[in-house]
Amino acid sequence: MLKYFDPHIHMVSRTTDDYQNMAAAGITGVIEPAFWQGQARTSVGSFIDYFDTLLGWERFRASMFGIHHFCTIGLNPKEANDLSVANEVLEILPRYLVKEGVVAVGEIGYDDITPEEDRFLAAQLELAKQFNLPVLVHTPHRDKIGGTQRTLAVIREVGIAEHLVIIDHLNELTLPLVLDSECWRGHSIYPNTKMSEQRMVALLKEYGTEKMVVNSAADWGISDPLKVPKTGQAMLAAGFSEAQVEQVLFHNPVDFFAQSGQLDTSTVSTPLPIDQRRQWQENSALRGQEPVVK
């Protein structure tokens, strides 16, 4: 079976069945970026609880199905505009950036491309430099070209090494902008919006596989946590080899985030051993079902 790695998926929004189906499809590992939850958080404590969930319960829940779970930690661009909370979140980020399983600062970037978003993007890029971590950058849903251009400008103003940055949610219009940099190129395959499997295959045919990364960005919206393996099937149907599929959909994302020192190809190539008898803080994801041990 081909190996897959989904480097951008919001599993806190997904059911346990999704983990089961992802493992069956060949996904051996995931990265869960901190993001906006659909409703504004009103205190720094709610961010602390959320970050702790990414590092604790969610990592445990993935392990129940043999999936390696990592996360990125950051202040998302939408909530960077709420200064009553954003400043406090920035203060607590350093304590999380040194924790096991944190492979990048992110997702950070732009939403409305405001001065506040500028400030917190730059500040978090500085943190990434300080902690020698990669960065996951979210490009805005509106004015994608302007937002991508501004993102590249801030990256260069701060002076972080471009090979430590992946710019995500790219499409046919914004990918060429990033190709002129040393940044990695992220693409979200998402029903109805963002990219489709067929559009992604067309980009790979035109621009090649170097530094090209694919994710599902599955969240609480209409999304699909199997979009990475489905892209693999589309690549095979278009004439790409199995080696090329694994290069784009496994090795490229692993190689990028391996720069954190928190994961490597040998570790995430093999699914975790499964022991569903284990609990997290006296809680189980099984809800009374017979535990699997293998």
Spatial contact of 70 and 32, defined as CB atoms under 8 Å apart: yes
Q: Is residue 79 part of a domain?
A: yes
Whether 16 maps to a domain, the answer reads yes
For 178-236, how does the pLDDT look when each residue is reduced to its tens digit (9 = 90+)? 999 999 999 999 998 779 999 999 999 999 999 999 999 999 999 999 999 999 999 99
Both tokens of 67, joined, read: 């999936």
pLDDT of residue 211: 98
Least confident of 48-62, 96-110, 276-290: 276-290
SS3 content of the chain, % helix, strand, coil (to 5): 45, 15, 40
Residues in the chain, total? 294
Mean of the per-residue pLDDT values of the chain: 95
User: In sequence order, what are the residues at sequence separation of 6 or more whose Cβ sits closer than 8 angstroms to the Cβ of residue 15?
Assistant: none
Q: In 10 A of CB 68, how many CB atoms?
A: 22
Residue 82 in domain? yes
Return phi, psi of residue 32, to 5°. Answer: -110, 105
* DSSP state at residue 109: E
Element (H, E) at 120: helix 115-131
Report yes or no on 193 lying in a domain. Answer: yes
The reply to whether 275 falls in a domain is no
- The pair of structure tokens assigned to 167 is 């710019």
Q: How big is the chain by its Cα radius of gyration, in Å?
A: 18
Query: What domain range includes position 141?
Result: 4-269
- With respect to residue 288, please indicate whether it lies within any of the assigned structural domains: no
How far is Cα 255 from Cα 235, in angstroms, rounded to an integer?
A: 20
H-run or E-run covering 147 = helix 144-158
Query: Using one digit for the tens of pLDDT, what is the confidence trace for 33-70?
Result: 999 988 989 999 999 999 999 999 999 999 999 999 99
Supply the CATH number for residue 185's domain: 3.20.20.140
Q: How many domains does the chain have?
A: 1
- Answer whether residue 60 is part of any domain: yes
In a domain, 23, yes or no: yes
C-alpha 124: how far from its chain's center? 16
Rounded distance between C-alpha atoms, residue 108 and residue 17, angstroms: 29
Query: Could you tell me the pTM of the whole model?
Result: 0.95
